[in-house]
Amino acid sequence: MSAQLAAKDFASSQEVRWCPGCGDYAVLKSVTRALADVGAVPEKTVFVSGIGCAARFPYYVETYGFHTIHGRAPAVATGLKLANPELDIWVVTGDGDGLSIGGNHLMHALRRNVGFKILLFNNEVYGLTKGQYSPTSRLGTRTPSSPNGSFDSPILPGSFAIGAGAKFIARAIDVDKVGLGGVLEAAHGFDGAAFVEIYQNCIVYNDGVYNAFTERDKEADAQLHVKHGEPLLFGADKSKGLAFEPQSMTLKVIDARANPSAVLVHDETNRTLAGLLVALAPPEFPVALGVILRQPGQSFEKAYYANQPTKLKRTGRVADALRQTSTWTVPAP
């Protein structure tokens, strides 16, 4: 690539077919901008998706793309990464695709630390099938398939990722250009599975589900933008902070001005802290956003090739392998 590409160069010619006002538009914009900002090479970039509204994503990006089957994008992407570790792979999934039908593959991609980005668009509802409750829907969510309110407990994507052994966990809001952009760039730079949960508003079936922390007047008190090495402060004038409560092994909100030394400093390599941060929820706590966990380690594909004495290079011949056993020769008469 000779010239630096712009965000628009990563937009494909395909007509985007999400509902007007869908949060996916904002995410698409942030992703194409991030691709331009990190200097992504279009022919080495691949978007792999499963099924769902978010899964249409690959059609709209001017890179390689594979729209696969429900829940299996991480598995397809794993095979792709093994075939060609040089590729820059982005898996796009949703709460149903990634945590319901494809939960197993997501879990194993995370624990193996396969080198791709996983963007989980969480809108707490099944959109493409017209509005049934999803595994992240809160208790009591009324939908066509739960007319009396859902009664099965939701899964917390961040806690799931912690449990699966993810080494990179980040979170952002669909329309938050700065926050999402920063998280996408950090994910891109991570060598391993980078799990990004995006709070995405479904304007048709679950509009306003995140209002408690995304509305203008609530942002300051309900959002905690974490940054490695900086104190965990929030509130309009950063007057609130998070501190550790040893008795119950939980976090608590304190007056940061009265007791600045008690405010925890974010350490993105600390899994225990990450486990506490991903579970915080309003109204008692703010929602943690940004890079919550980043633990550099060996990616699966590097380990995979390192595990092979020849790095999977064909150094031997089948003709010789055929003879690596007892052989005998029948002489010509």
* Beta carbon of residue 79, minimum distance to another protein (angstroms, whole number): 3
* Beta carbon of residue 209, minimum distance to another protein (angstroms, whole number): 28
Cβ nearer to another protein, comparing 217 with 328: 328
Is residue 90 within 8 A of residue 55, CB to CB? The reply is no
Q: Mask of contacts with another protein, 71-100, x by CB under 8 A?
A: xx--xxxxxxxxxx-xx-------------
* Beta carbon of residue 74, minimum distance to another protein (angstroms, whole number): 8
Cβ nearer to another protein, comparing 236 with 321: 321
Beta strand spans in 221-262 (E): 223-226, 233-234, 240-245, 250-255
Tokens 């949703």 — which residue?
94
Give Rg (Cα) of the chain: 23
**β partners of residue 294:** 168
Fill in the DSSP letter of residue 265: B
Is residue 183 within 8 A of residue 172, CB to CB? The reply is yes
Cβ nearer to another protein, comparing 247 with 308: 308
Tokens 């109204």 — which residue?
283
The Cα 312–Cα 306 span in angstroms is 9
Q: Mask of contacts with another protein, 44-63, x by CB under 8 A?
A: xxx-x--x------xx--xx
Q: Mask of contacts with another protein, 9-48, x by CB under 8 A?
A: ---x-x---------------------------xxxxx-x
Q: Is the peptide bond before 333 cis (omega within 30 degrees of 0)?
A: no
Q: Residues interacting with another protein, by CB under 8 A?
A: 12, 14, 42-46, 48, 51, 58-59, 62-69, 71-72, 75-84, 86-87, 104-105, 107-108, 304, 308-310, 312-319, 321-323, 325-333
